[in-house]
Amino acid sequence: MTMVSKSKHGQQMAVSKMTPVKYSIIPRDLPGHLFQVTLHIANPDVEGQHVSLPAWIPGSYMVREFARNIIRISAHCAGKKVALKKTDKQSWQAAPCSGALTIEYEVYAWDLSVRAAHLDQSHGFFNGTSVFLQVLGQEMAPQIVDIQRPVDTTCKAWRVATALPELKAKRYGFGTYMAENYDELIDHPVEMGNFALASFEAHGVTHDFVVTGQVPNMDLDRVVSDVKKICETQIAFFEPRSKRAPMSRYVFMTMAVGEGAGGLEHRASTALICNRNNLPVKHQAELGAGYTDFLGLCSHEYFHTWNVKRIKPAVFAPYDLRQENYTSLLWLFEGFTSYYDDLMLVRSGLIEESAYLKMIAKGINMVLRGSGRTKQSVAESSFDAWTKYYRQDENSPNAIVSYYVKGSLVGLALDLTIRAETAGKKSLDDVMRALWQKYGRDFYQKALTGQQQGLGENEIEALIEQSTGVKTKRFMDKYVRGTDDLPLEKLYADFGIAIADERKNAKAALGVRVSKDGADCKLANVYESRAAHKAGLSAGDILMAINGLRITANDASDNLVGALARYRVGETVSVHAFRRDELLTVDVKLQADDVPAFSLSLVEKSKGALVAARPSMTLLKKSRKAKI
């Protein structure tokens, strides 16, 4: 059977002559959070068809065992039940049968995140990795999905938001959608419910912005106007001449909640979670840091449309969704994306350069806070993402470094280095465009014939030299494969930016981070070699009193700072704490607060030779005045 779909540039094209794999999915039990899925396989393997559910979702590097949410599964052929044998934690094999095989199963969906599936009376959301069994041997066949309306009468007004191409469904409607293959099927999340919707064009590409959840007096026009500028800036960044986007349509799916934030990228859409209070209010001129953070999240996930979804590590081309896929390059794919997300805000004119420098300073202080940066390189952090970064515990600040945050600073330092060594003629921008031309531009077309190519683990240095003329082995040895602190103060000097330490009179401190635990003040992190650590306190201890005066959970951090403000550095205090149900009394010699407090500022009348070449000046003159 030949299926007809639209290519990423809108042309009609035949995608396959293989018999399609067909799914139907219906929100069957909203209070019980159950999706019912039916899988129809017209030509099953004569020796017994194998099916499997992914163990993880691309972009979130932890094995999540999605198959654990399948609570009932059965198969039949020609009206007769077919035996299903479970072969491992996420796979089944059907007994041989003559004719089409149908597998029916229920998926429990109660994970309110961007990674899995969620269903209740307010909305439904799913990623394909959580609900669609992979038919082994038929991954390259067209995949047709019938997304059905819930039978619950309260859902009559529900609509569907997805970047999946429509087959017979109308835009935003229930009905049949299709993907060219299984990889595409699971790369288009679906949102259904009563959502707010607005659309805009960015360089000829339609972008839909969807918001689910109650957001009183939301200024969606403002959101669309600002996000449009981000999208146009990024499209022009990768394709400055043609301004051609790599997709024919894009969908932002945002779930507004009371608390929470996060995002996950897909080839033509993104799933976002944000605090509703961070979204703008109609007729409110001044907007806070929360909205800027949200725009940064939109920018980050949209940049992934190029960097990660199309420019990939070689080990991700293609993904093996049964198990961990190890790469030491996440500092580039996530870190460089984190570098460019805020940079795109200033380049598109949404924030002032001074606000951008505050963001950089925040990242510097965050990295310097933990001693883990001296033990783990960003290359090691990337490789260990599956077991360390995504499984953080109370000791993580003392043991690991973030390939997101330090990776973004590596991107900054590398950008400054290239600009300095080429007198502003080349930059990291040239590297990203070279990556795009070589690895990303035609990735999905090549994937259809098995010719997709990803960036090898040791190829980036050669590519940087080819695209900029700058050799980076020493840089990589020290700051990527090594654990040296980045020399940002020195690098920034010629660009007219100064870094200053804002710490003045150091205050007495325990060297901990605290959090509320019910009515108690809990030690969330105890920093290595600091006062609390040396005295024998541990993360998880409940702090009760200092020198006989109670420490309360209300505004736990401020309460503790206020209590310690009465003492000087070097004084010894008696601390009472509970570890489990045992009372501890320890003497703590207070140390000076070592929380980093670096700031960045523009040097007035700087004589730096590269002031006009600093990254945040690029495209700045073409952008409008900032309004945030």
Q: How many angstroms separate the CA atoms of 190 and 131, rounded? A: 11
Domain annotation for the chain: domains and CATH numbers? 16-193 (2.60.40.3650), 195-297 (1.10.390.10), 306-496 (1.10.390.10), 508-592 (2.30.42.10)
Q: What's the pLDDT band for 476 if we cut at 50, 70, 90?
A: very high
pLDDT reading at 4 higher than 70: no
Mean pLDDT calculated for residue range 454-478: 98
Per residue, what are the HEC states of 181-242?
CHHHHCCCCEEEECCEEEEEEECCEEEEEEEECCCCCECHHHHHHHHHHHHHHHHHHHCCCC
Q: Is it the case that residue 29 has pLDDT exceeding 80?
A: yes
Q: Average pLDDT of 323-331?
A: 98
Q: Which of 237, 247, 203 is nearest to 336 (CA)?
A: 237
Give the model confidence (pLDDT) of 84-118 as tens digits.
999 999 999 999 999 999 999 999 999 999 999 99
**Model confidence over 551-604: pLDDT tens digits?**
987 755 667 888 999 999 999 999 999 999 999 999 999 999 989 999 999 998
Rounded average pLDDT over 422-446: 95
Res 625: pLDDT: 41
Query: In Å, what is the CA distance from 364 to each residue of 370, 406, 493, 511, 594?
Result: 11, 8, 16, 19, 14
Residue 386 pLDDT: 98
Tell me the per-residue pLDDT of 506-547, one tens digit each, with 9 for 90 and over: 899 999 999 988 889 999 999 999 999 999 999 999 999 999
Q: Is the pLDDT of residue 621 over 60?
A: no
Q: Under a CB-based contact definition with an 8 Å cutoff, are residues 132 and 186 in contact?
A: yes
Mean pLDDT of 23-48: 97
The model's pLDDT over 183-231, given as tens digits with 9 standing for 90+, comes to: 999 999 999 999 999 999 999 999 999 999 999 999 999 999 999 999 9
pLDDT in tens, 63-92: 999 999 999 999 999 989 999 999 999 999
Question: Is residue 445 scored above 50 in pLDDT?
Answer: yes
Q: Measure CA 36 to chain center.
A: 28
The model's pLDDT over 295-324, given as tens digits with 9 standing for 90+, comes to 999 999 999 999 999 999 999 999 999 999
pLDDT per position as a tens digit, 226-269: 999 999 999 999 999 999 999 999 999 999 999 999 999 999 99
Percent of the chain's residues with pLDDT above 90: 86
With beta carbons less than 8 A apart as the criterion, state whether 33 and 109 touch: yes
Sign of CA dihedral 215, 220, 223, 228: positive
pTM of the model: 0.94
